[in-house]
Every structure is written in C-alpha cells, then in structure tokens.
Structure 1
C-alpha cells in the first residue's frame, strides 16, 4: 500500500504521543492507536489487528531498554505472563481470522474490552483502594490463566493483552514499578508471535489479513521514541493522573465503538 505523506506523519505522531503517555503504566498504546488505524488511516479489517501488533513489535524496545537500565525486567512475573500470553495470542489470531472478521462484530468486541477497562482505571484513579483492601497477590497459576485469557483477547484485538493485565494485577496490589516492565515485555514478545501468526495465515488464507507494513512501521517508530521517553518519565509522573487519563480515553473509545456497532 502506498501512503501519502499526511498519513505517514499522522501515523508517526500518533504512535509517539500515545506511547509517551501509556508506557509509564506498562501499556504499549496499541489499544488507543486502533481507532486511528480504523477510522482515520482506514486500515481494513482484519488487517488492522496485525498492523497494531506490528506497532507493538517496533515500539516495544523503546520502553524496554529504559526499563532494563532501571533494573525492572528481571523477575518471576515476567516469566509467568509470557507462559500464558504467548499461546493465548496465537489462539486469538486464529479466532480473529476465522470467527470474527466483520467490522461490526469487531467494533462490538472493542467496546466490550475497553469499557470495563476504562471504568476500572477511572475508579482506581479517583478513589484509590486502601492497602488493606487491594487483596492478596494472585497465585502463579491464576496469573498464568489470566495471561492466557488476556493473550487471546489481545490476539483478537491487536493489543498484546497488556492493557488488560495491567489494571487487573495493579488492583491486586502489584506495584506499578514492578508491573509495567513485566507487562510491556509480555506485550512485546506476544506481539511478535501474533504478528508472525497473521503473516502465516495471510499466506494460506484469502482476504486482507497481512499487516499494513508501512503504517505499522511508521507508527511503531513513533512508539519507539515515545516509549523510551515515557519509561524515562515514569518515576516523575503522578500515577493517579495517568490512570485517570487512560480510563477516560478507554471509556470514550468504548462508547464510540458501541454506538457504531449498534447503528452501522
């Protein structure tokens, strides 16, 4: 696909701005890049999903390099998330291609995923739970099961699952400084697996399944820069403000896609 310079600048700028805001809490930003890909850049469905996964692949190292320098990548949480999300994202890619190819169904899935996520982030930002009510940390098997579910949804939706895992684990008392690097690492590696699955499916299945390489790489380049900046800013940014911003954006996008799914 040949793109105009306006689309190239928009993809680069959107990736940079979104990743700068979302990386400090471990979210790659693909969850918020999706409506830009669909409604502004007009990436067809289901090719929009592997395009978003390609964004994660290119953008991920920016934040990860900074988190690694801060010593945040080592630990059992990263390993447990990878054990669950890697097979989950492959399953989600297969479901996306063969079970939910229509744009109306896809918009409804977007709304279902984003609405509870957005409301959860808003509530936790405005009314933080006291330490005594955050609950005990989840056992390892529960974290792996949660990672499988998040990876599957991420494979369908093109987000790697990080935006789902982050708020749930944070609500169970996992510190953001520990959570963000682990979730971002999981998103990065599962996005590689998911994007590769879509490439294989594109070679064996008819339809617009392969990623839009130009837009994915350009938005990913912006995300690469923004991710490094966001990870570097993490120690200096108030967590409540970031959570509230993410919650408001997610809730607004969920509402938009729910209306579109109901009217088109």
Structure 2
C-alpha cells in the first residue's frame, strides 16, 4: 500500500516539474525506483519505459489542446530514436553495460550544458535569438543516441535532447511537445522490445507492472498539469528550469558514480 502511494506521488511530482521543458521525468524516477521502491535491475529499465508509456498521453493531450503538435522536428527525432531504443534494449539484455561509466559520460555532457543554460537565462538580456536549426542528419544521429540510452537505462532520452536542442534557440513551446512525443513513442517500442526479449531470454527483464502502472498514473496527471503550466511560464524561466534539471542530474550521477 505504502509503496503504491509512493510510486504514484513520485510520478505525479516529477512529471509536473519536468514536463514543461519536454522531459518525461523518467530520468529522475530511475533512482527512486532503485533506492526507494526497490525495483531490481535490469527490470527497472522496462519499468521506467512503462512509466513513459502510461504517463505520456497526459502531457501530449494537453499540448495538443494548446496547439503543440508533431512537426518536422518530431519526425526527425523518431527516425533516430525508434531504432535506437531497440538497439539499446538488445545491448541492455546481452551486454549489460556498467552504470558507472554511463553516469560519468552523461554527467560530462549535461553539467556544462546545464550550467551554460542557467547562466544564459540568468542574464538580463537572456532572451533567446532565432532558432539555429541543426542539420537533419545530426538531429537523427542525436535521436539514435538518445533512443539507445533510453533502451539501456529506461530514461527516455529527453533529458539529453532537451538541453542540446534548447541550446540552439528552439522555443520551448515547440521543443517540449516534439521531445515528449518522441519519448512516448520510443518508449512504446522499447517496452514492446523488452516484452519480446523476455520471451526468448532468461533473467528478470520483465517490468514491475504494478509499480510501473502506478508511477505512470501519477505521471499521467502530473504531465497534464505540467503541460497546462507551460504557457503560463516565461521562456526565460523554462530555460532556467531545464538548465537546472540538467545540472542537478549531472551532479546526482557524479555522486552515484563515485560512491
């Protein structure tokens, strides 16, 4: 009973905070599932993907009502993330890469990027200029990398894509729906992939359905609330929030890797 309430509350609170900047919250839910809810590894990965699948429609429905829809950026991301998540699931089941190296590499990317976004947002004249789109091929490559990481660790990939794309000046109103749509559809494919792998391999790689669904139910409500809040938050505040989340995640991963 208590674990169920904690799962719902964690999904609700995390999704409410992270959805406005296009992050599903799975990346912050992962340590909660491991340390508080005691979901074993590698089952924690498909459980986190299940959270994304259940939680995603809440935010996407709200964004759709406010005009946030799939566009060219979403399609480019999906071209990369869908095959990427299948590759990541295979790597997770058969290669089992160590989390320490992963955490240090992600921290090395996110910490300077997060600090830079915060400093840029904190300046009085920090209003972003016109977007400087990345080449289509580079967006696809980033999608493959984010999808693979999502498949291995169940974090969705939005926590990586969001800061990188925001750094190119893409408005949050465009960025958040695109990244969350990519995270949702990629998680559907990834969860299905783990389901198939569970049938043909040994080991505990099936999700914890109860906790995944409860976390997802909280995320469904929190995602809707977060998407509702986004239009009422200034662009500068959203960029500061995204930078702060990226830096906080990097510090968390450094601490976990060194302890």
TM-score by length of structure 2 reads: 0.91
Q: Is the 8 A contact 1:111 1:255 kept in 2?
A: yes
- 2:180 corresponding residue in structure 1: 184
Q: Structure 1 residue 116: deviation in Å?
A: 2.5
- 2:117 corresponding residue in structure 1: 124
- 1:256 corresponding residue in structure 2: 255
Superposition map of 1:147-186 within 5 A: 147-186=143-182
Q: Which runs of 4+ in 1 moved over 6 A?
A: none
- 2:202 corresponding residue in structure 1: 206
Q: Give the SS at the match of 1:127.
A: helix
Provide the rounded CA distance (Å) in 1 between the counterparts of 2:242 and 2:70: 24
Give RMSD over aligned pairs: 1.8
Provide the rounded CA distance (Å) in 1 between the counterparts of 2:115 and 2:35: 25
Unmatched tracts of structure 1, length 5 or more: none
Q: Is the 8 A contact 1:88 1:151 kept in 2?
A: yes
Q: Structure 1 residue 135: deviation in Å?
A: 7.8
Q: Structure 1 residue 203: deviation in Å?
A: 1.2
Provide the rounded CA distance (Å) in 2 between the counterparts of 1:182 and 1:59: 16
Matched, 1:75 2:109: no
- 2:221 corresponding residue in structure 1: 225
Superposition map of 1:1-80 within 5 A: 5-80=1-76
- 1:137 corresponding residue in structure 2: 133
Provide the rounded CA distance (Å) in 1 between the counterparts of 2:100 and 2:218: 25
Per-residue CA deviation, residues 28-73 of structure 1 (Å, 9 max, x unaligned), is 0000000001111111111100000000000000100000111111
Matched, 1:106 2:99: yes
- When residues 42 and 252 of structure 1 are mapped into structure 2, their CA distance, relative to the original with a 3 A threshold, is same
Provide the rounded CA distance (Å) in 2 between the counterparts of 1:43 and 1:232: 31
TM-score by length of structure 1 reads: 0.90
Provide the rounded CA distance (Å) in 1 between the counterparts of 2:94 and 2:210: 25
Q: Is the 8 A contact 2:7 2:214 kept in 1?
A: yes
Provide the rounded CA distance (Å) in 1 between the counterparts of 2:150 and 2:70: 23
- When residues 88 and 178 of structure 1 are mapped into structure 2, their CA distance, relative to the original with a 3 A threshold, is same
Provide the rounded CA distance (Å) in 2 between the counterparts of 1:252 and 1:194: 27
Provide the rounded CA distance (Å) in 2 between the counterparts of 1:87 and 1:192: 12
Matched, 1:196 2:192: yes
Q: Give the SS at the match of 2:133.
A: coil
What count of residue pairs does the alignment treat as equivalent? 252
Unmatched tracts of structure 2, length 5 or more: none
